[in-house]
Structure 1
Amino acid sequence: MSTIPPATCPFTGTTAAPLDAKASTPAASTDTDGREAPVADWVRIEDLRRNPFPIYQRLRAEAPVHWVPAVNRYMVTSYAAAHEIEQDEARFSANERESLMKRAMGHSMLRKDNPEHQIDRDSYGATLRPGTIKKHWNAIFEANNTKYLEELKAKGPGADFVWDYAAPYTGENLRLICGFHNATHQDMQRWSQTLIDGTGNYADDPQVWAKAAASSDEVDTAIDEMLVYLAKNPDHSLLSNLASFPIPLEAIRANLKMTIGGGLNEPRDVLSTTVWALLTHPEQLAAVKTDPALYAKAFEESVRWVAPIGMYPRETTRDLVLEGIRLPAGARLGVVVGAANRDPQVFEDPESFNIFRPKKPHLAFGGGVHFCAGTWIARAQVAQIALPQVFGQLPGLRLDPETPSVDEGWVFRGMTRMPVLWNH
């Protein structure tokens, strides 16, 4: 999504070349067991950004995979096809040869296959494992949550839930998780916005690239400073752990930029979307207030219903057939999690938010070897800490009827405006 500081996690990437539907039409596969992918030349990026879900419904009903000229890749929209891709890195590579993410952030673990991917991922383990979250990070999240809830209260009814609370809360958490003691949460938000805009720059906007490049340089400088400091003053942060881990500096830089993007946008957007969903479903809100254990279910239903990271790339390594659709070797795919998570073949009444639906695995955190390493961090700071306190500390919390909330995006989707009122 290009208009919010957008986990995780799976990120998108694609060719940086100008989009030209005629020039980029894929060559036919030599495999004769499937059919050609239908061409969805009616899909427009602006329509996807505004509300992708009716588009996803039409695409899924027609075929599990389409060639979409507007985004210059195949869009995969069925749950079965998305799940197959996630579980088979031999045929579906994460190391897309031309990638917006690589251009914006460098070659991170999300654009690597094993064994290279696992080497980078192992370097994150000590910081993000559930035991470390419980023993170290939860207390920090609780303190930050208290601070930024108090700031929201001080601004009073009419404040924007996203920018006056969710963004600074998750930005400050991420700053400390990463180990950027030489930056602010405002820096984290700006870096995240501009780098993520680069990974979703399908229009090849030169201003977007310029802002992404400037942030990339700033992050490199901050990383270089902190690696020296943390080598002598270790803590529980990612950079502290990486300071003694045998991986190249460029990999450290790329992985931290990846983390700045997904590690901020995913918890921020899940938090805002879940609160918005509960406020617009009062019977479900009443249930979670009665039984706080349901906040975890609300979190999982929210990421299924509106996946914060709605699409990520893969590339075919050979000619193959995916759910009856022929794909040539080297085909660029967009795995549309936002569509797969609403597949009626898997989820009953999938367009509705329902915390009571039967438990079925969603794909919002990816799968296989690329399952989101930040999943437990997101669950802790949102479901365990923020959600109960938001509704406990803001009596009568409600949306402002005079200023409607706005949600946007498709590659990254979340609330971009959410004024709220409460009793005080």
Structure 2
Amino acid sequence: MSNAPRYEIDPKAFWADPYPDLARMRETTPIAYVPQLDATLITRRDDIFENEKKTDIFSSDQPDGLMTVLMGQNMMRKDGAAHQAERRAIFPTVSPKTVQRVWKKHFETATADILDRVQPNGQADMVADIARPISGEALKAMTGLTNMTWQEMDRVSQGMIDGCANYAGDPEITATCHDCTASIDAHIAQRKPALHKAPDSSLLSVMMQAELSDAQISANIKLAISGGQNEPRDAIAGAAWALLTHPDQLAKITNGNASWLIAFEEYARWMSPIGMSPRRIVKPYETKGVTFDLEDRVFLMFSSGNRDAASFTNPDAFDLSQDASKAISFGAGPHFCAGAWASKCLIAEVALPMIFDQLAGIELTGDTPFGGWAFRGPLSMPVRWQV
């Protein structure tokens, strides 16, 4: 175990709002062992940025990790040549060119349909009724699992997310996760014959064309679903909430002094939908007076780094005028999120502008609770608009 100073947390309070504890850690124990998580947390932005690139020390290969055990070994849990080979295989799906040429139209059509359905009602829950189906329909198209409903896409994603964050070992959460991964495998098997006959740009199709193994295909589809449903959902609803609760920031967009992309990137910095990424120590290492031992578990706390006062002028505020270029919302090293371009297109080019355009006078009608530290987003968000 590392010799990092111990920092105790209340797990329930940390789930409800991790930012007070993360601020104290950055100030007093920037590399700290948290016994409730059985992990050493690295909390300062520059330390994360530097060490994430050292894959020979901070390895993503975690054979005993929850993601690998529950979902199979995907490219996110591989380093070096193995990681790069699978990343190259999926690139035809997630490249900026494919996003603009193929997926943007899917995003626009699905989002318009969803907003057309809810608009006459004059009210909705932004998370459940708008952001969730927008994210789900986008992910159906990109994965190639068009035989899956968006509701099932959301269910299996949440089940895997809960399973991968189940550090307390709750057996019910594990059982639900297994049920969700079985559903994904069944949907993959159903879609393969059609994609053999008519290949397309979807993730399932391009991996089949690259002749990846069934295990590789299954694991990477599950990775895409676990990361491609909840985080865009949380970012769409969360960014909308941030703009509605900060009308001065929304005004910067409407008067042309900021863009929807800036709003999304600033929100992702301020309220990081992906709060951390785990690593395994594979050779002894010392940094900043802390010695790591073999097999230590380390959490790179992106959410904490994104509020580091050494890197951001107004770190605890949602401020579209500040420079967020040092944000590590999508990671910082070789595991930089492969879906970043798709996320930016879906959220900043399609969902946010269409929501604020089509739901005229949109406003909050109640509280918006947030939850999570490994993954964070609004749990519900009642809104209304003019009809």
TM range (shorter): over 0.9
Aligned CA RMSD, in angstroms, stands at: 1.3
Over residues 305-341 of structure 1, what are the superposed CA-to-partner deviations in whole Å (9 max), with x where a residue is unaligned? 1111101101112111123322112211011111111
- How far is the alpha carbon of 1:292 from its aligned partner? 7.8
Aligned-partner Cα distance in 2 for 1:351–1:422: 29
Checking the alignment, whether the CA contact within 8 Å between 1:76 and 1:334 is kept in structure 2 is: yes
Q: Deviations over 1:133-181 (max 9, x none)?
A: 1111111111011011112213322x10011000001101101100012
| 1:125-204 to 2 correspondences below 5 Å | 125-157=91-123, 159-204=124-169
1:265 pairs with one of 222, 230, 238? 230
Aligned counterpart, 1:47 = 13
Please identify, of 351-360 and 412-421, the stretch whose mean Cα deviation from structure 2 is larger. 351-360
Which residue of 1 is the match for residue 382 of structure 2? 419
Aligned residues: 387
Q: Distance in 1 between matches of 2:165 and 2:158?
A: 11
- CA drift at 1:376: 0.4
Residue 229 of structure 1 deviates from its aligned partner by 1.8
Paired residue for 2:36?
70
Aligned to 2:371: 408
Q: Say which of 318, 333, 338 aligns to 1:368.
A: 333
Q: Which residue of 1 aligns with 2:59?
A: 93
Q: Cα deviations across residues 277-325 of structure 1 (Å, max 9, x unaligned)?
A: 1111111111111228511110110100111110110111211112332
Look up the SS of the partner of 2:222 in the other structure. Answer: helix
State the secondary structure of the residue aligned to 1:368: coil
Post-superposition shift, 1:267?
1.2
3-state SS of paired residue (1:81): helix
The reply on whether 1:254 has 2:219 as its aligned counterpart is yes
Report whether the alignment pairs 1:377 with 2:342.
yes
Q: Which runs of 4+ in 1 moved over 6 A?
A: none
What CA distance in whole angstroms lies between the structure 2 residues aligned with 1:239 and 1:418?
A: 33
CA offset digits 1:331-355 (Å, max 9, x no partner): 1101111111101111122111101
Q: Which residue of 2 aligns with 1:38?
A: 5
Match of 1:208 in 2: 173
Q: SS in structure 1 opposite 2:229?
A: helix
- 1:317/1:340 Cα in 2 relative to 1: closer, same or farther (>3 Å)? same
Which secondary structure does the structure 2 equivalent of 1:124 belong to?
Answer: helix
Distance 1:182 1:423 in 2: 35
Does residue 114 of the first structure (1) align with residue 87 of the second (2)?
no
Which amino acid is the alignment partner of residue 83 of structure 2? H
Gaps (5+ residues) in structure 2?
none
| SS at 2:300 equivalent | strand
Higher RCO (CA 8 Å, separation ≥ 6 residues): 1
Shift of the 367–297 alpha-carbon distance from structure 1 to 2, 3 Å rule, reads same
Give the CA deviation at 1:223.
Answer: 1.0
Q: Distance in 2 between matches of 1:100 and 1:151?
A: 38
Alignment match of 1:335 (pick from 296, 300, 303):
300
Q: State the SS of the aligned residue for 1:211.
A: helix
Of the candidates 386, 392, 399, which is equivalent to residue 357 of structure 2? Answer: 392
1:64, 1:323 within 8 Å by CA — same for their partners in 2?
Answer: no
Deviation of residue 191 (structure 1)? 0.6
1:350 aligns with 2:283: no
Name the SS for the 2:159 alignment partner.
helix
Amino acid at match of 1:412: F
3-state DSSP of counterpart to 1:67: strand
Question: What's the TM-score once normalised by structure 2's chain length?
Answer: 0.97
Amino acid at match of 2:380: R
Deviation at 1:81, TM superposition (A): 1.5
Q: Deviations over 1:245-296 (max 9, x none)?
A: 1221111101100110101111111111111111111111111112285111
Asked if structure 2 preserves the Cα contact closer than 8 Å seen for 1:151 and 1:165, the reply is: no
Residue 81 of structure 1 contacts residue 323 of structure 1 at CA under 8 Å; is this kept in 2? no
1:417 is paired with a residue whose SS is coil
Q: 1:237 aligns with which of 202, 224, 237?
A: 202
